[in-house]
Every structure is written in structure tokens, then in C-alpha cells.
Structure 1
């Protein structure tokens, strides 16, 4: 029987702990699972709630920090110092697993020694609302070559994983190391890419694997300044992977070019959409353009920059009213271009 360690970092989330731990220990039949709750010096009763759970179940251990160490240090303590099972997972105290998720992930890892980690589909749910209906019967799995999966991340410039749906081979986690403290908001995507540089990636099909709670305390940022910070963090994350895994990535130059173009386009798109939505007063347009230039010196040749310049000529006050006309004109121009290319091909 495979063994699995689950690290549950907790800061002021004690009221979620019982449900989180229940989803780990009581809904994963046929798997030897143990849990470490690490309370990062919560000022409320989170540590007491964790100790109550541990007193009732020998599979649960608790560590309580005297001083707050932050989420990255807490993650690494559990993953690198404590976990010693075949596989390891990291689950925030406010999230929970879908029944059978660990069993499904462990089965993929058992059957494929070259797979370094497994993930699946997460279900987002609003804090205070009911859990969405989850699919618990899988339809198999797929194994992606690690470098193919990594290449896709660089082409898209984003991650595809929320976090609670991941199970990692512990030996690989130790070989790769912990989360990077210089990446407080993008350390997860950087971690998955470092793992993929060294091993294949498994995906559970058909079944949902975890619930991700959406509420005001989530670490992901949605404000406009936060979106720029997100882009900056993503850039650092991708560049960090290229630096740390340089000896494993002979295609590093191509990957670097792909992701810098992609991030520049993301920044410019956010900048011109600020004109469409009448939000230039709150969206840092100039900083987004500067970021695009940092990513790609030739950014001015991108279609997103031309779209931005058009909107700037129209003006921030007028653009929200003219947006349908501008988009219609752009679409018509695109249709004309495709017609011209088709005509040229027919004439050859």
C-alpha cells in the first residue's frame, strides 16, 4: 500500500481545519495517509483546534510556530523536513479534497515511475456557499512528457494548476527543493515547472480532485496594481526556472523568447482594455507598457500595442462609447485580410 503525507499550513483558518482534515483522512480509502498541521502563529484559536483534531486521531501531527514565519517557510518545513512517505501533498487549511482524490493520484504515480507529480481538475467554490457537485469516478489518466508540458507553460505564460489538486513524488520533491521565498505569489507555478523539468506529469481524467475556496483572504490578487505585480511575479518565476534548470533545458533560449513575448502581450492587452472599460484612472497603463518593453524591446510591433495606440488617439473619455465600432472595424479588417490571403493562395 502506498503511503502519502499531507501538509496542511494554517494561519487563522482553524474554523476550516476539521472539514479539510476530514477530506484527507476519511474519504481516501485504501491509502495509508498521515497529516501534519502547521499553525503559523495564528492569533486566534487555530492551534487549539489543530491539537483537538490530533488528540482524536493518531494519524495527525501538529506543529505550532511561536513566531509567524510566512507561508513559504511553512510549506518548506512540512515538505522537506517532515514528509517521508512515498508521495506528498500540500493542502491549505481552507481548501478540501474531493473523495478519492489521493487514491486516484497515487494510482497514477504507482503505475508510472517516471511521473513526478499528478494533478487534476479543481472545483472553485465561493466562501459561504455550497460545495459544487463533484465527479468522483475517473475515466483514466494521461501522462505528459515533462518537457512537453513545460514548453506549453512557457508558450501560454500562465500556470494551469490551482494547487490543492497536486500530489508529488516525495523523492523528487526533495531533489528539487522547496518553494522559492523570492516568489511569494508565483512560487507554485515555478515549483510545478521545476518538477516537470525533471520528470513526466500525470493528469487524472474524468474526476474532480480538489475544492478551492474563493474568498477575500485568498493570496491571489485581483486589483489592478495586483495584476501588474502578478505579471512581474510570473516573469521572475519563468526566468527562475530557466536559471535553475539550465542544464536540463537545451531549448532554453526558445522558451525564454516564447514567454517574454507572451507576457508582453498580456501586459499590453490589460493596458488597452483599460481604455475600453473606462478605467485608465485606476489601471497603471504606463507601467504595463514599461513592463512590456522590459520583456520585449520590440514590443511596439505587437498587435496589442497598435490596439493600445489606437485607443490612446481616440481618448480615454471617448473610447468606452466607441468600443463596439472599433471592435467591429478591427474584425472587418481581419476578415478582409483572411479574404486577401485566400485570394492570393487561389491565384498561385
Structure 2
């Protein structure tokens, strides 16, 4: 259960920005208005052509003791932007938040209190609620939990246990803006890997969890995650296949000798099986919903690439039968549609479990 801290924690919020200058004032205000924590901000503008650097500097001038602006003179990409900001952190705790996301009221205090009470915890997260907007977020009261908040509690996993949950599901349980790190854990993990621009977060959490415990603040949302066209949503089967490959690249880090995981090969193999299973399941669900057989070919291919054994699995054989049926011009059977309906109900249950417990 939560315990009061002896003194407020000191935390730096690194805000990378590219063409999101119109979001910066609200993002910064969501940090400076936090209570029960000593929070400051580092804005890193990656040579935005929209005038974001001017907004960032104006905020630094307005709050000289709490806001710092680092302005790139040429575009270096988001990974370098992350790392440049993180390299300037000198507080005990740190978090990386996109300029268009919002930290929930009281979230930083809740996260730092957990780590102050449990020195071996290097990473804390919580529920990140999504929202859509039209680009105008001038009022903080526009954000409120979509459901009645649960009582605040803490969950703590041994780092290896959390990794096991992640490989078992082949998933990244953390969206990103809700994650808070102990700065010592950040230094131990090093910077974000430029070779993994699309799965760097998952890669980072695995590296931290290899040496530190993982905590979660349960109850109210810890952050608000903006959903928009630029988010890497999976809208086609081809992009779903690409996402699975990116996740595999992140899980490959488990065999890095620096992580010192004795069962690294076994963990990686379990992750491979989970990713291949997910690819085949998505393909089967799509066919059961009436999608054409040729559309799911990228998923079938990526499953075989990730885990050769998956091609001989029962799930793969059942998928082959579905494809054969569709190829003959036959619609999904009643049983297929009923099965997909049941899966959707299970999705809702799993989503609620993830929202409440942080793993599913």
C-alpha cells in the first residue's frame, strides 16, 4: 500500500519536441502544477520548422528556475533527441514525455513515493488513458478519468518476473508517458538504441527490468496519451507484421551479455513463440470477421519468420483451413463468427485487467 515520503522527490521531465510547439505550454504546465514533488522540465526541440523552438525558449525564460530549453540547430531524429535530454538530468528521478501527451495530476508524486519506499524499484508505470483532440488543449479540466478511479495501490514485481510476463505475451505493457525511472537505473541502462527507432521503449524497459524491480501505481490514470494519425497504430496487416518484427528486435536484447540473464535464450524463444502466435491469431480473427485470404499473407509470413515451429503448429493448420475456405469463395462459417464474437468479449476483459493490473 502507498506510504508517505519523508520529503518530496526531485524529478526531471524530458519533453522531446518536433513541430509540437502548440502543445508545449500545456505539457509544461502539467509538470509544473504537480504537487508533492519537486519537478522541473528539459525541453529538447529537434530543429522544428514550425517555431517550436521559440515557444520552448519562451517557456524557459518564463520559468528560469524550473524549465530549460535545449534547441537543436539541425534535425537529429527522435532517438538522439531523447538521449540528448536524458544526458542533462541530474535529479533522482526522470521521465520522458512527448510534447503532445499530458501527465495526470499528482502522477509524479505517486510514482516517486513508490520508488522512495522501495529503493530496488527502478521503473514505475501506471495506466495511461488515451484521448483524441483537435489540437486545442488550453484547459486542463478537459481531462478527467473515463471511469470511476480505483483506490490507489502499488504493485511490485521482481524485474525478472516482469520480463517473464512480457515475453509470455510478447507485449509491451507500457505506452511510455506514464513511465518514471530512477535516474540511476537510466544511467545503468544507457541511452536509447538508435538501431531500434520503433521499439526503443520496449527495449529500454527490458534492459531496466534485467537489473531493477518494476513497480506500478494502480488507480487513477498516470498520464494521458494522445491518439492521432501520427501514432504508430496498426491499421493494415502489413504494418501489424512490421510491428511484430520490431518487437522481436527489442526482445533480442534479452541475450545481451550486459543483461546477465541466465535463461536469456529460453526467454527469447518464448517471446518468439508468443509473437508468432499473435500473428497467426490476428490472421485467423481477420478471416473469421470476413477479410479476404490474400490480405493476411503478411501475418502468415512473419509468423514463419519469427518461429519456424509455428508453421507446423495446430494454430497454423487451422489457419490454413480458413484460408482454403476463403479461397473457395465461402464466407466465414457461423461457428467462426461466433468464435470471433467471443474473442471480442475476452478482449474487453483483458483490456480491463491491463488497465487495472498493468499486465494481462
Tell me, yes or no, whether TM beats 0.5.
Answer: yes
Say which of 319, 322, 346 aligns to 1:311.
322
Equivalents in 2 of 1:181, 1:318: separation in Å?
A: 46
Q: Where do 5+ consecutive residues of structure 2 fail to align? A: 1-7, 136-141, 342-360
- What is aligned with 1:149? 162
| Cα 1:125/1:323, change in 2 over 3 Å | farther
* Residue correspondences, number: 326
User: What's the offset of the Cα at 1:90?
Assistant: 0.3
Alignment of 1:108-257 (within 5 A): 108-128=114-134, 130-133=142-145, 139-247=152-260, 249-257=261-269
Alignment of 1:10-21 (within 5 A): 10-21=17-28
| Cα 1:143/1:274, change in 2 over 3 Å | closer
User: What's the offset of the Cα at 1:41?
Assistant: 0.9
User: What's the offset of the Cα at 1:277?
Assistant: 3.9
User: Of the two, which has the highest radius of gyration?
Assistant: 1
Q: Where do 5+ consecutive residues of structure 1 fail to align? A: 332-348
User: What's the offset of the Cα at 1:25?
Assistant: 0.7
Equivalents in 1 of 2:155, 2:338: separation in Å?
A: 41
Q: Summarize deviations over 1:40-79 as a string: whole Å, max 9, x none.
A: 1111021111111111112111111111111111111111
Equivalents in 2 of 1:113, 1:35: separation in Å?
A: 24
Q: Summarize deviations over 1:130-171 as a string: whole Å, max 9, x none.
A: 534277785231211110001110100001111000110001
Is 1:324 equivalent to 2:334 in the alignment? yes
Equivalents in 2 of 1:140, 1:273: separation in Å?
A: 36
- What is aligned with 2:313? 302
- What is aligned with 1:100? 106
Q: Summarize deviations over 1:283-305 as a string: whole Å, max 9, x none.
A: 3x333223222222222332321
More divergent stretch after superposition (16-25 vs 268-277): 268-277
- What is aligned with 2:279? 267
TM-score by length of 2: 0.84
